[in-house]
Amino acid sequence: MANEQLITVTGRLTADPEVRFAPSGGGVANFTIAFTPSKFDRNTNEWKDGTSTFWRCAAWSQGKLTRAENVGDQLKKGDNVVAIGVLETRNWEDKEGNKRSSIELNVKAIGKDLTFHGQPYAANQPAQQAPAASQGGWGGQPQNAGGWGNGEQGPAF
């Protein structure tokens, strides 16, 4: 990966990844990540969606690296993801013989974006308190126990 310009793309998968295998056994997962920016309009006091961007992506498996299989097994339509990769231009001829090209993200790393994962976001809902916070300090010890788990006073810094 020397001298490659890596970019990071965040967004949602528009469909389940499509995994295909070459006769040599190497696999590729093809998928699209969509991102729609939103900005707050102070005049109307509302959030406004901008123009959506769609990133065509390919995640390859090579040798013992099973990136394509992992993408196909772990990700599905609608998942929020963070993908890191290299932009590449792909050239081909269509059925009529016209030369075509597209820009594609060759994914080097990908994972779920946990920013809004789990419970659906609900505006103006009180946040639930974490269980550990209601028990006191670290490891469920009272706050005045020094945080070291044995009830003794910790070192003075």
| Rounded average pLDDT per 10-residue block, the chain, 157 residues | 85 96 89 94 93 95 86 94 95 93 94 76 54 50 50 52
Taken as a whole, the chain contains a residue count of 157
Q: Domain span at residue 95?
A: 6-116
DSSP 3-state of 113? coil
DSSP symbol at 65: B
The answer to the question of residue 150 being in a domain is no
CATH number at residue 33: 2.40.50.140
Whether this prediction's pTM lies above 0.75 is answered by: no
Q: How far is CA 113 from CA 35, 41, 83, in A?
A: 13, 26, 9
The answer to the question of residue 144 being in a domain is no
The answer to the question of residue 14 being in a domain is yes
The answer to the question of residue 37 being in a domain is yes
**What's the CA gap between 13 and 22, in Å, rounded?**
24
The answer to the question of residue 157 being in a domain is no
- Model pLDDT, residue 24: 82
Amino acid at the residue 24: S
The answer to the question of residue 52 being in a domain is yes
Number of separate domains in the chain = 1
